[in-house]
Structures are given as C-alpha cells and as structure tokens.
Amino acid sequence: MISDNVAQLLSELPQGVQLVAAAKGRHPEEVLEAVEAGITVVGENYVREAREAYQLVGSRARWHFIGTLQKHTVRRNVLQIFDMIETVDSFAIASEIDRKCALIGKTMPVLIEVNSGREAQKSGVLPEDVEPLIRQTVDLGNVRVMGLMTMGPYSADREDSRPFFAETRRIYDMIKSLYLPNVEMRYLSMGMTDSYRVAVEEGANIVRIGTGIFGERN
C-alpha cells in the first residue's frame, strides 16, 4: 500500500516538485518501504525517530528536519543526519546551527518557516519578519538560506489554504529579487496530504506528505 501511494504521487506530481515523505510516528521499516518505492527525501519531526529510521535507511534517502526546533535539540549528531532544516524561525536557532555546523565542517541548507496564518501558537516568523531575519543570516558562513516553508492554518477545506500559500510565494519571489549574498531562493515547501495540489498550483516545489503515503496515523 505504501509503495502504491508513492507510485501514484510520483506519477501525479509535476516535474521539479520534490516529494518529502513526512515520517512522524512511522516505523523505520515503513520509511524503508517508502524509500524503496521511490521516495528520495524523508521529513522527520523528531530527532529520536530520525535516528532510528536513519540507522535502517541511511544514505539511501536525504533527510529533512521538519519539526519544531529548540536550541538544545541542535546537536552535532542531529546536524550530521540532516541534509536540510526546513523550520528555522529565529536568528538564535540559525546561529546555533551555524556554530555547531562550523565544528563539523558542514554548511547546512535551511528554509525559513513562515507563520503565514499569523497564528499565535504556531511556529514560524511573521511575513513581515522574513526579510529582516534572512538579512541577519547572510553573514553566517555555515548556514545557507535556500527558501521558505509554511504550514498554513489547518482547515477542513483545502481551498482555505490558498491565500496563505500565495502570500508565502509572494514573499519568496520578493526575497529572490533582492539577490542577497549567501542566499539562494530555490525551494518553496508548502502543502501536505490535504493541500498539496493547491500548494503546487501556488508555486510549491517541495510538498510534505505523511498520511497520503503511510495511511492514517494511530
């Protein structure tokens, strides 16, 4: 079933849209099955789950961190696993990643998470704070901003997500047009199982899909 879902999604998504398998709560064996079916990028919310899945799957996939980051979770072994961190939302986190990556000689590609719905309890930076934050990070030699990520407010109606995706796309294009040094706006990560089609219409080139690949979470 996992392999059918992956095949279906891969055939449906337009060229140039990267499918990230959002693996929270799944067994490493399920993650491996998805990778064997053609998934090239795994998204992990939790470090412990990432480590377990990584032990089984290793470099057969690339690894994106898509969970909530706290300063103390930015550890050396975490930075060794991940190829991209999609959820940077403060200068404190960016500079901690920079500092720890310098110690292991790595430059970490990161996305800035945008709180496009301006929700009080949501992580991410407010739309008007994206540019100032990115300008602050240009001097961090071991962090490279490569785009934006957003969740958008949850709604049962996927069309409700469209304005939040469109707003994030607008900020993405605006930052791109600034040609900031050490910033390469290449990735726009938006859309999950219920909303990825709308997200792709609004310009996403990374979609993060969990349920649509692995089935309902228990």
Ligand X SMILES: *Cc1c(COP(=O)(O)O)cnc(C)c1O
Burial of 98 (0-12, 13-18, 19+ CB in 10 A): buried
Binding segment for ligand X (CB under 6 A), chosen from 139-147, 158-166, 179-187, 210-218, is: 210-218
What does R_g of the chain's alpha carbons equal in angstroms? 16
- SS3 for the chain is CHHHHHHHHHHHCCCCCEEEEECCCCCHHHHHHHHHCCCCEEEECCHHHHHHHHHHHHHHCEEEECCCCCHHHCCHHHHHHCCEEEEECCHHHHHHHHHHHHHHCCCEEEEEEECCCCCCCCCCECHHHHHHHHHHHCCCCCEEEEEEEECCCCCCCHHHHHHHHHHHHHHHHHHHCCCCCCEEEEEEEECCCCCHHHHHHCCCCEEEECHHHHCCCC
Determine which residue in the list 109, 117, 152, 210 makes contact with ligand X, applying CB under 6 A.
Answer: 210
Which residue, 42 or 143, has its beta carbon nearer to ligand X? Answer: 42
Positions in 25-84 near ligand X (CB under 6 A): 45, 66
Binding segment for ligand X (CB under 6 A), chosen from 76-84, 135-143, 152-160, 205-213, is: 205-213
CB closest to ligand X, residue no: 210
Contact 131, 174 (CB under 8 A): yes
Which residue, 185 or 190, has its beta carbon nearer to ligand X? Answer: 190
Which residue, 23 or 143, has its beta carbon nearer to ligand X? Answer: 23
Mark residues 6-25: x for contact with ligand X by CB under 6 A, - for none: ----------------x-x-
Positions in 93-152 near ligand X (CB under 6 A): 151
- 57 phi/psi in degrees, rounded to 5: -95, -35
Binding segment for ligand X (CB under 6 A), chosen from 46-54, 72-80, 122-130, 203-211, is: 203-211
Distance in Å, CB of 15 to ligand X, minimum:
21
- Under the binding rule (CB under 6 A), the answer on residue 212 touching ligand X is yes
Distance in Å, CB of 194 to ligand X, minimum:
6
Distance in Å, CB of 195 to ligand X, minimum:
8
Binding segment for ligand X (CB under 6 A), chosen from 4-12, 154-162, 177-185, 202-210, is: 202-210
Name the residues that contact ligand X, by CB under 6 A. Answer: 22, 24, 45, 66, 151, 192-193, 208-212
